[in-house]
Amino acid sequence: MIDKIKLYIKIGLKMLKREVVNNHDYREEYNKIAQTYKNWVGVMGRFTDNIIKPEYLSSHKELRILDFACGTGYITKSLLKKEIPCKITAVDYSENMLQTWKDVQNSKVQVIHADGIEFLKNTDEKFDIIFFGWALSYFNHEELFKLFEKVLKDKGIVAVITNVKGTLLGIEELFLKVMSQSQEVVMKPMDIKFNLPKGKDGLIKWFEKYNFENLEICEDEVTFSFNTPEELLQWLNKTGAIAGTAKIFNDYSLVKHKIIKEIKKQKYKDGKYEINHKFAYGIFRKL
């Protein structure tokens, strides 16, 4: 209990000083996993497909589309295959993620390396559709949704898929325990709960607050099983599911064995080590 109190005091002081995991840290983390992010896309892309709806892409005019926090370009590449009349602006803060776009040579696409919030603040463009895949947890949704409203045309659409609360069940508590055990190497905290809505109903409430109506919404969950705790941790690291957590510590290698030990104790079930991904996806229209 004393160790926990000391940890919370330390975390509180660092937050007051703004010594926390930030956008630059997330960019560094995603730069490291740019070549392994395909592990995530390979199994979760089929759910992302649920927001790329033909009925919202049919138009007699050329659509202006923003692929926001585009990563390795799964959504843009899917849109190009549909051969719809459009111009796509794809924005991401990780230069290494964007390097994986080298095979995309298309006059319809403009790829921009920029902080997403700064791009939205400074662009003069107006978009018909914003696609937003798997990155809500890295943004302050209140600031973000105001800016989405700003850059969308009247009746513009946001198509989003995001993790929700209850995803990676137990991981927050696991990291807090390791941090408590290893306070001497805790460099800066992060909100391990992330900026996540409470399921699909929470996502609807967030959008409604900023002048959007829900057209479609769904919630789902996938559980992955691994033979060893090391394999589970490797999955979390390679896919970016726990991006930023390494930045908590001044030397991640000093605590990695403790993280594995906690996974072994907490995530074992029926001969396997399990982790869940809980998420919601929906289509929202600007009123």
Give pLDDT, residue 193. Answer: 57
Give pLDDT, residue 10. Answer: 67
CA torsion angle 147 151 154 158 (round to 10) = -70
Q: Say if residues 70 and 134 touch (Cβ distance below 8 Å).
A: no
CA gap 73, 133 in Å, rounded = 10
What is the rounded average pLDDT of the residues 139-148? 96
**Tokens 């930030």 sit on residue:** 22
Q: Looking at 44-53, 106-115, 185-194, 242-251, which range is the least confident one?
A: 185-194
Q: Tokens standing for 44?
A: 């979760």
CA gap 21, 32 in Å, rounded = 16
* C-beta neighbour count of 82 within 10 angstroms: 10
CA angle 78, 41, 265 (to 5 degrees): 160
Residue 232 reports pLDDT greater than 90: yes
Q: Looking at 99-108, 169-178, 209-218, 278-287, which range is the least confident one?
A: 99-108
Instruction: Quick: pLDDT tens for 181-228.
Output: 998 998 888 865 568 999 999 999 999 999 999 999 999 999 999 999
Give pLDDT, residue 7. Answer: 65
Average pLDDT, the chain: 93
DSSP, collapsed to helix, strand or coil, labels residue 239 as helix
In the beta sheet, which residues pair with residue 68? 91, 132
Q: Tokens standing for 87?
A: 């111009």
Q: Which class is domain 2-166+193-222+278-286?
A: alpha beta
CA gap 125, 65 in Å, rounded = 10
What is the rounded average pLDDT of the residues 96-109? 87
Q: What are the phi and psi torsion angles at 220 (to 5°)?
A: -150, 170
CA distances (Å), origin 249, targets 69, 173, 189, 246: 26, 16, 9, 6
Q: Where are the domains of the chain?
A: 2-166+193-222+278-286
Give pLDDT, residue 194. Answer: 63
Question: What is the percent of the chain with per-residue pLDDT over 70, rounded to a whole number?
Answer: 95
Q: What are the phi and psi torsion angles at 247 (to 5°)?
A: -75, -10
Residue type (1 letter), 262: E
Q: Tokens standing for 169?
A: 């069940």
Q: At what angle do helices 171-181 and 2-16 cross, to 10 degrees?
A: 100
